[in-house]
Structure 1
Amino acid sequence: MTTPSRIPPALPVAGGGLTDFTEGWLANRRLSAHTRAAYRRDVQQWLGWCAGRGLEPLRASFLHVNAYARELEATVDARSGRPLAPASVARKLSALSSWYAFLLRLEAVTANPVGGADRPRVARDVSATVGLSAAEVDAMLAAADRLDGPTAARDRVVLALLADLGLRVGEVVALDLDDLGAERGHRTVRFTGKGGKPRRRALTPAVLRHLEGYLEVRGDAPGPLFATATGGRVDRHAVFRLVRRLARDAGVPAWERLSPHSLRHAFATAARDEGVPLEDVQDAMGHADPRTTRRYDRDRHNLDRDPSYTLAAARSRRTKP
């Protein structure tokens, strides 16, 4: 195996020269555009950290990664004003681990330095996303119905897709007009899910009602389904602002801390509360692991849903004279 002192000359060594290599790594991963952009930022942040310390990234050890991780944990998130969540730090290190694993396969490094690093512990059963009750989601949808102005029709569809289908914000903003379709009597939307997986979902009557009104305004020109006044694609930041504005208008107490992902959590919780089987919610949300779906079900510890009640009721029906 090649040692760090004998790195193949075709591979760039300087931190700034690894950009092309990083793009090659990303191209070899099945990732959504949003995840690819996030991973790119994560690697660039690491390379910047290394450059600031005169450290060659291909010769970094787990001690350097540990120092980097501790600095990340002390970093204050500009949006929340709080230190980065352990899950955010863990995600950044996970991206670096994948990057180094790719380097290892190319024999550009002798070991993955992230593998021996001290990563933050993240509880798989807990999510830090601020949740919403079903009543709060209803109030936000009602606030969207009261919108007026040139973007009102568009914004109503965006919120309905987040609330009724539980889509990720990246999936919503990446939609094009030709992603809309029909299948076996259902109106559908096709999109690329996490991991680059092609997916499709059925549209609810409420989404369809708002969508038809929006398409009358938008027209049938090909391109982004949700466009700005200048024709560009609506971005994630605009959807963040929309969600918080509607939550504020709806009187949601935690509106300043909400995100589009809060509606995705609410979708899972409401579906499970209405008796939708876990595996159906898992499929709808595109989760490979059911434990991920359970994290989104914030009401899963509600004693009203204790299965002992269901079993007791069934026994009572069987033994009733």
Structure 2
Amino acid sequence: MVFPDAPVLARPSTGPALPDAPVDFTEAWLRNRRLSAHTRDAYRRDIAGWLAWCAGQELDPLRVSFLHVNEYARALESTVGARTGRPLTPATVARKLSALSSWYDFLVKLRAVDANPVAGADRPRVDRDHSATVGLTPEQVDALLAAAEAENGPTATRNRAAIALLADLGLRVGELVSLDVSDLGAERGHRSVRFVGKGGKPRRRALTPGTAYAVDAYLTQRAAAQGVPVPDLTGALLVTTTGARLDRHSVFRLVRRLARAAGIPAWEKLSPHSLRHAFATTARAEGVPLEDVQDAMGHADPRTTRRYDRDRHNLDRDPAYVIWAARSRRRG
């Protein structure tokens, strides 16, 4: 990505000639990966931030070392987030460096650089057993849903459908707002929804009866307002009053407004991810196997799912008891 105030990227002295300048490495890198639109935008911002920092330091991004990446990481750690008003978390810094590392891996493959400078950098340690998301208890989720049910107005049915999809399916907010009407379907007796998850992976989930009812009620009202049958609806599943696709910021505001109406403490710190967090913790507390929760949430690494299991250190679940009981049965 080339910025007006950034120095022209110098080409390395070795390797084949690159395409004619200006070279948009970032867009070429993104086109080379299967990513959701939300992830693509986040990666663009991550690389833009790095290139802007390099420009400010008068560094050529194609000639930096791991020492420069370390310096950038320390700068990130002291950066105050515009939304939170607090320094960036280690997880956020680690994610930005991960995106940067992938970008440089791509440049290595193009032979634009000899080595990935992020590979030798000192990345923040992220505790996989800790989630910074403010969670919700099952009772608080019930209260949030009840607050949505109590609403009236032109967007009430849409809001109920959005909250139901977040609560019952544990969708990421990017997955929610990317849904189209055509993603709804039915498979072997199940109402279902298909979407592209994190990493560009196609996924499908079952709609619970409550969620299916909320979605149907919303689409019925929307079709009546447009004067068309429900099957003729097209485009985004969740839309604004002007017909535009609902965006992630609107969903953030919706969750907090309903949480405040429901009297949930710390409502101003909640996010759509709080409902995803609650989905996972409640599923594990209700005895849903870890692998099933992992599949439902689209986690590539089971360790990511395990951090939502609040009860995993409970001694009642120590496998030693299961082994002992099985031995006793064999002896009996």
Q: Distance in 1 between matches of 2:19 and 2:316?
A: 59
In the alignment, does 2:248 pair up with 1:236? yes
Q: Which residue of 2 aligns with 1:5?
A: 13
Range with greater deviation from structure 2 (122-131 or 94-103): 122-131
Range with greater deviation from structure 2 (91-100 or 128-137): 128-137
Q: Which residue of 2 aligns with 1:261?
A: 273
* 2:13 partner SS: helix
Q: Is the 8 A contact 1:176 1:224 kept in 2?
A: yes
* 2:130 partner SS: coil
Q: Which residue of 1 aligns with 2:114?
A: 110
Amino acid at match of 1:297: D
Matches within 5 A, 1:148-159: 148-159=152-163
1:111-156 CA-to-partner distances (Å, cap 9, x unmatched) read: 1111111111101221111111111111111111111111110011
Q: Which residue of 1 aligns with 2:287?
A: 275
Q: Which residue of 1 aligns with 2:239?
A: 227
Q: Distance in 2 between matches of 1:302 and 1:244?
A: 32
Q: Distance in 1 between matches of 2:145 and 2:204?
A: 23
In the alignment, does 2:49 pair up with 1:41? no
The structural deviation recorded for 1:297 is: 2.4
Q: Is the 8 A contact 1:90 1:119 kept in 2?
A: yes
Q: Distance in 2 between matches of 1:10 and 1:112?
A: 17
The structural deviation recorded for 1:60 is: 1.2
Q: Is the 8 A contact 1:265 1:297 kept in 2?
A: no
The structural deviation recorded for 1:309 is: 6.4
Unmatched runs of 5 consecutive residues or more in structure 2: 1-10, 224-229
Q: Which residue of 1 aligns with 2:3?
A: none
Amino acid at match of 1:25: W
Q: What's the Cα RMSD here?
A: 2.1
Q: Which residue of 2 aligns with 1:28?
A: 32
Q: Which residue of 2 aligns with 1:78?
A: 82
Q: Which residue of 2 aligns with 1:119?
A: 123
1:159-199 CA-to-partner distances (Å, cap 9, x unmatched) read: 11111011111111000000000000000000001111111
In the alignment, does 2:181 pair up with 1:177? yes
Range with greater deviation from structure 2 (44-53 or 86-95): 44-53
In the alignment, does 2:265 pair up with 1:250? no
Change (3 A) 1:241 1:305: farther
* 2:221 partner SS: helix
Match of 1:291 among 303, 310, 332: 303
Please identify runs of 4+ aligned residues in structure 1 that moved more than 6 A.
Answer: 309-312
Match of 1:133 among 129, 134, 137: 137
Q: Distance in 2 between matches of 1:269 and 1:311?
A: 26
Question: How many residue pairs get matched?
Answer: 313
Q: Which residue of 1 aligns with 2:226?
A: none
Q: Is the 8 A contact 2:197 2:203 kept in 1?
A: yes
Q: Which residue of 2 aligns with 1:168?
A: 172
Unmatched runs of 5 consecutive residues or more in structure 1: none
Q: Which residue of 2 aligns with 1:96?
A: 100
The structural deviation recorded for 1:318 is: 5.7
The structural deviation recorded for 1:7 is: 6.2
Match of 1:51 among 43, 49, 55: 55
The structural deviation recorded for 1:296 is: 2.3
- Between Structure 1 and Structure 2, the one with more helix by share is 1
Amino acid at match of 2:154: P
Q: Distance in 1 between matches of 2:294 and 2:18?
A: 44
Change (3 A) 1:262 1:304: farther
Q: Is the 8 A contact 1:265 1:298 kept in 2?
A: no
Amino acid at match of 2:283: A
Q: Is the 8 A contact 1:180 1:188 kept in 2?
A: yes
TM-score when scaled to structure 2? 0.89
Range with greater deviation from structure 2 (301-310 or 235-244): 301-310
Amino acid at match of 1:105: K
The structural deviation recorded for 1:307 is: 5.0
The structural deviation recorded for 1:286 is: 1.1
Q: Distance in 2 between matches of 1:25 and 1:308?
A: 49
Identity across the alignment (%): 71
The structural deviation recorded for 1:12 is: 6.5
* 1:253 partner SS: coil
Q: Is the 8 A contact 2:18 2:112 kept in 1?
A: no
Change (3 A) 1:268 1:12: farther
1:253-278 CA-to-partner distances (Å, cap 9, x unmatched) read: 12111111111111111011111111
Q: Which residue of 2 aligns with 1:211?
A: 215
* 2:26 partner SS: helix
Q: Distance in 2 between matches of 1:68 and 1:257?
A: 28
* 1:4 partner SS: coil
Q: Distance in 2 between matches of 1:178 and 1:214?
A: 15
Amino acid at match of 1:10: L
* 1:123 partner SS: coil
The structural deviation recorded for 1:298 is: 3.1
